[in-house]
Amino acid sequence: MGIIRASQIKSPWILHFDNSSCNGCDIEVLACLTPLYDVERFGMVNMGNPKHADVLVVTGPVNYRTARVLKNLYSQVPDPKMVIAVGTCACSGGVFHNCYNILGGVDKVLPVDVYVPGCAARPEAIIDGVVLALQKLAKAVGVAK
């Protein structure tokens, strides 16, 4: 167990991807970065490059056009990686589940590690989801907490 894996648990870099949502959950994900919640004090950083990310946070239902992009982003995130579905739409398709162009939740395309339900999911719930994902990641790589 090297220092890189230990730092991955203590300072996760997060890649946020919006599938095709109403942007309610996106605003809540970005609210986590504001001084009120300040997740950066825990070492969490919102990253724009999938090759540097540890956790993939996905909002919105998956449609046919974004499924390929989402798979591509997932393949670029280095192992071990965690996927968090944020919001009802990302978990199950939400209000869009019967639309002709919607595949459903993120789990129709990618293996999801943590589900954060809610419309829109609260920042506290999103932070708890990231912490839960990090606990699963710690068990996967064998880091003692």
Q: Looking at the 3D structure of the chain, how many domains does it have?
A: 1
The closest alpha carbon to 59, from 36, 37, 28, 103, belongs to 28
Q: Which spans in the chain are helix H?
A: 3-10, 24-31, 64-76, 88-92, 123-141
In the chain, % of residues over pLDDT 70: 90
107-123: buried (b, 16+ CB within 10 Å) or exposed (e) per residue?
eebbebbbbbeeebbeb
Domain that holds residue 102: 3-141
What is the chain's mean pLDDT, rounded? 82
pLDDT tops 80 at residue 71 = yes
Q: Cα separation of 142 and 145, whole Å?
A: 9
Mean pLDDT across the stretch 18-27?
82
Q: What pLDDT is attached to residue 115?
A: 92
- Rounded to two decimals, what is the model's pTM? 0.85
Question: Tell me, what CATH number does 47's domain have?
Answer: 3.40.50.12280
pLDDT tops 60 at residue 4 = yes
62 near 105, Cβ under 8 Å? Answer: yes
Secondary element (H or E) of residue 14: strand 13-18
